[in-house]
Structure 1
């Protein structure tokens, strides 16, 4: 997906100027402009911050079709996962059509060097995850943890946090957040 074009589309649909969105999101006007021109590729935390000024969740941002009139499936084949990937971090949302979702459930892949950005970020709710393969560097409240395959994590998302893969192999995991803000 073309993140810049999509941001411009949702910003205009919301009746916001670049300046107003920047003010609401707490970023510079040039940040919005550079994202919309695809001059920069925002990190997950940066994109969430910008979308908070609309307000719009990551799921709503990446969802381009109207699913309000369709029946809610129970089983989701992999090809029906919503691709919410940002930069090189792959996020696949399971249950995108579930009406009034209370949680976000993701399959994630972080290649070597990838992560949610340099800045710690916060949001309402809780997060949990299980590493399927590779290792993940998780920072919560300025303390860094190495989560290896077969291990999991769980914390309140109001605590400053970030995810990063500084290792030589990709990290695959499943994760969930509440509320469904992704």
Structure 2
């Protein structure tokens, strides 16, 4: 079977894009070639941008994924916002000096998730008036201990212990220990 590929000037984007899409779908070059009915070498040459497939050949290859031509060309591989954050860049949104709530992705538009690195100094307490808001919360203790009260339930958690609850249930966090407690938490929706 003759394959329909052109050599010469090509869009650098097609080979790179095909490789990324193939990897996202967890396919080897060999597996994609088998599914598409083309040679492994053809996939390799396209991904190296050494040949450019015709529209019909590209459609045949994408059918092996399966992925439409429109989706292939419109998938966005470049995040439009910041992805990585240094420890120093995380703003502290806690209002109590005995606590630190370092927020990840604070400047991201339309965040659906609130992610925090929380530190509770010995004796720190979110207060007698229990917290309550829309959504869900979860977290895992990294170091130290924390007492988490959720409704009528209360538990002291240590390193590796975790929690997950609906946030409309009244809740509270207290550090009874002699050392700071560090935990990583997430909540939806992003209320801060």
Tell me the TM-score range normalised by the shorter chain: 0.5 to 0.7
1:84 to 2:75 alignment: no
> 1:127 maps to which residue?
137
* CA offset digits 1:14-50 (Å, max 9, x no partner): xxxxxxxxxxxxxxxxxxxxxxxxxxxxxxxxxxxxx
Q: What TM-score results when the alignment is normalised by the length of structure 2? A: 0.56
Q: Provide the residue aligned with 2:67 in structure 1.
A: none
SS at match of 2:138: strand
- Give ranges in structure 2 of 5+ residues lacking alignment: 1-79
Number of the residue aligned with 1:73: 82
Gaps of at least 5 residues in structure 1 are: 1-70
Query: How far apart in 1 are the matches of 2:131 and 2:89?
Result: 29
Among 143, 157, 160, the residue aligned to 1:147: 157
What is the distance in 1 between the residues matched to 2:191 and 2:155? 24
Which structure is larger by alpha-carbon Rg, 1 or 2? 2
- 2:21 corresponds in structure 1 to none
State the shift of 1:121 in Å: 2.2
How far apart, CA to CA, are the structure 1 residues paired with 2:99 and 2:135? 22
CA distance in 2, matches of 1:165, 1:119: 16
User: How far does the alpha carbon of each residue in 1:126-166 deviate from its partner, in whole angstroms, 9 at most, with x for none?
Assistant: 00001000011000112211111011110000111101111
Deviation beyond 6 Å, 4+ runs, structure 1: none
Relative contact order, CA 8 A, sep 6+: which one is greater? 1
Query: What secondary structure does 1:82 align onto?
Result: coil
Inter-partner Cα distance in structure 1 for 2:170 and 2:94: 22
Instruction: Describe how 1:18-167 pairs up with structure 2 within 5 A.
Output: 72-87=81-96, 88-167=98-177
Corresponding position: 1:171 with 2:181: yes
Equivalent-residue separation in structure 2 for 1:132 and 1:159 (angstroms): 24
CA distance in 2, matches of 1:164, 1:72: 35
